[in-house]
Amino acid sequence: MKSLAIILALSVQVALGSGYIVKLKADKALSSDQALSLFQTNDVSLNQLSIGTYYVVNLKEVGAAEISRLKNDPRVEYVVKNEIIKIDPMVTDPAMIGEGEDGINDPDFTKQWALKNDGKNGTKAGVDLDALESWNVIKGDKKIKIAVIDTGVDYNHPDLKDNMFINEAEANGKPGVDDDGNGFVDDIHGYDFANGDGDPMDDNKHGTHCAGIIAATHNDLGIRGIMKDVSIVAVKFLTARGGGKTMDAVKAIDYAVKMGVDIMSNSWGSPASSGAKKGRRGEPKFNKAIMDAVKRAEEAGIVFVAAAGNSKMDTDKTPFSPANIPLPNVIAVGSIESGGKRSSFSNYGAQTVHVMAPGSSIHSTVPGDKYASLSGTSMAAPYVSGIAGLILALEPTLTPTEVKQRLISTSLPQENLKSYSISKGRVSALRAVQNITN
């Protein structure tokens, strides 16, 4: 019986339901009385991050006069909405199933056309990541840490548990104690910012699916990740319903920086608002709090991979955040299907999407020791995160800019993709690790 593939589309709808974020200027600090005077409410939470001091004011209704008053206060750097970003499930085509590859005993590998496309069942032979060939060069390294910033990860999944990051101080410490002194209690495999605790278990499935694409163990069980050896840091900010607050995303990125990850894999986002007047395009207005966090990752030398979005949009005209934030560490990823065409749902941009990778009918891990086929740029992004991990495992001194350029310059040119990304083709793990350019 054929399983149904599910597409997890990144929603283009952003709702203001959690108030707004106020960032103070660097040299400003508020006493409790000063905070009450500034915000005129006690419904405020303080967030001291490495990138600054933030207050979240949890009022659903905020008038323009109130926002203006705060923006004009000399202690305030900026005020932005604490937006809710959602991921929405939809049903699409049956999963692709092939014949398998000699010497690989992971039983569901036959469904992983992105790793080995044999041209069966409607696929096109050779349209894949050249994964098997790349594994003859490098299969990864446990020293490479990749943060999956998402709905969490099922760290007990038999195909993932051996490639999960383990915070040894917390794992061997006392429950309820911040044993490593990083400000987070019991963060053994990562942290849950949606619920404010040290257990980033996935209660959706999206994050576990993304993690499996990168890191499913080569253990003759289930599937294979693009990396055989890696350490996945589970950073949860999206809830079971697939929504997450902007401030929680900022805290998630800040935490991943603190944990010293090499790569952040981000399969979430929303269209950036426009600064244009009616009838004119103008410059995109990215959420300043998200930009601050991504900039902090860039300063820390971290590659920031992001899904380009699933709204069939030209992001040269309608930018998507965080994928199109103009920073040198950001890599925007569009999706292709098994025949080599752009996935019908995928955003694209000749100047704003950097690379294209498999994202349609992708078979991977989901919670409860299970597997499922899902589609979206959400699936394409972790493939690129994994290939970036292979590059860094082989050449650990490369900067994020150099990794980004390597992925672009080594992509395999493809005539039917040339208008959709800067790379004008699809990524290749083999060409990336061998630095084969045209």
* Residues annotated catalytic, as ranges: 150, 206, 378
d(CA 100, CA 220): 13
Q: Which residues contact 223 (CB under 8 A, 6 or more apart)?
A: 106, 108, 109, 111, 112, 159, 212, 216, 363, 364, 365, 371
244, 268 contact by CB (below 8 A): yes
Burial class (CB in 10 A: 0-12, 13-18, 19+), 197: middle
* Cα 191 to Cα 197: distance, rounded to the nearest angstrom: 6
